[in-house]
Amino acid sequence: MEADRDLELERAKLFHNLRRRINDERVVEAMESIPREIFVPSASRNMAYEDVPLPIEMGQTISQPYIVALMTEALEIAGRERVLEVGTGCGYQAAILAELAQWVVSVERHQRLIDIARHNLKALGYKNVEIHFAGETLGWKAGAPYDGIIVTAGAPKVPQELIDQLSNGGRLVIPVGSRYEQQLLKLTKRNGDTIKQNLGGCRFVPLIAEEAWDDADQQSRSRFSDLF
């Protein structure tokens, strides 16, 4: 079908461009092995391989492929790590992490998205991902420490709760700033200290939690995340 041919052309274009911007080939190969179109709503299927964020249910987004790749690369996953994802969404980022890490723990505050993510991951055969309903505090202490933590929503500050769940040498990748725009930060934990690196500007939906934003006016905020 013509629509399928167009999708394949967009797919080839996306991964060609990602290889020009992302140094870790394993990250690009992991993303290339995953059919992004099954993670987006059917109405957006024709846009699955455009390098843009797309809306999903519950007012959330599936992030722009480039920023997914950038954040994943920053985790420096070698294959034996235990990784925490804060904000499961539709499960796309979890699938990429599952391709690269030994075990993935993911938390999500919307039960509807948990159900969708579990369905998507099961359909692709992943067995090294566990998804939990997010508690009152950030992360998932029961599974700590983690070699990497990735946060897929913007926070007003770096939550100490997540730093505490990192192993020595572990990496935390998180957008930090206002509700409207953030800086993507990578923090590496070394003997109790953290080394910070700024990876550039970004826009994410707000992180809703005790150490982040409340959801009092969440419905009035932008539904899209993007890198600029």
Catalytic annotation, residues: 63
Phi and psi angles of residue 99, each rounded to the nearest 5 degrees, phi first: -70, -25
How far apart (Å, rounded) are the C-alpha atoms in residues 191 and 141? 19
Span between the terminal Cα atoms of the chain, in Å: 34
Instruction: Enumerate long-range contacts of 157-162, CB under 8 Å, 24 or more apart.
Output: 157/211, 158/185, 158/187, 158/194, 159/209, 159/211, 159/212, 160/211, 161/137, 161/210, 161/211, 162/84, 162/86, 162/138
Both tokens of 221, joined, read: 């905020």
**CB-CB contact of 207 with 153 (8 Å):** yes
User: Would strands 193-203 and 182-190 be described as parallel, antiparallel, or unpaired?
Assistant: antiparallel
How far apart (Å, rounded) are the C-alpha atoms in residues 57 and 69? 22
- Given the structure tokens 């987004």, which residue do they identify? 61
